[in-house]
Amino acid sequence: MDFFKQAGDALSNLGREAGKQADMLSLQNRLGALEAELERTFAEAGKRSYELMRMRQMYDDETKMILGRVKELQDEMMDIRQQVQDLRSNQQPAAPADTDRHCAECGKVAADTEAFCSGCGAKLPAVEA
Ligand SMILES: [Zn+2]
């Protein structure tokens, strides 16, 4: 067994997973920023429509620009959502976390409220909050 190679592989796997997590995080951050901008742009479009209505006009270049921006934002958001989905579906299904508390002596599952093992009576470590 080549310990160093194994350790290296394990590390690079960790690195890949961490990279995916980071990708996911930055995509979600970007999505959040886009959502906020979309909301602002919608508000702007609404305000603009109101002003135009007061001036008895229906549409102008600025409105067109704002609506074009809405479309761009929505397209980009759709793109990012797709990327997030792709990342999710590429992720290895996570092994179910073992959240059960076990007795160190006999391995019996212990409830969080138990201070002593119901199987062997050994003292159980305190539950961490
Ligand atoms: Zn036990």
pLDDT digits (tens, 9 = 90+) for 89-121: 877 666 666 678 889 899 999 988 899 999 999
84 closest CA partner among 14, 15, 28: 28
Q: Are residues 36 and 70 in the same domain?
A: yes
Whether pLDDT at 124 is above 70:
yes
The Å distance, Cα 96 to ligand 1 centre, comes to: 23
Q: Are residues 7 and 48 in the same domain?
A: yes
The Å distance, Cα 107 to ligand 1 centre, comes to: 6
Q: For the chain, how many structural domains are there in total?
A: 2
Name which residue leads in pLDDT, 27 or 127.
27
Range of the domain at 128: 100-129
Whether pLDDT at 63 is above 60:
yes
Q: Are residues 28 and 76 in the same domain?
A: yes
The Å distance, Cα 128 to ligand 1 centre, comes to: 19
**CA–CA separation, 49 and 43 (whole Å):** 10
The Å distance, Cα 123 to ligand 1 centre, comes to: 8
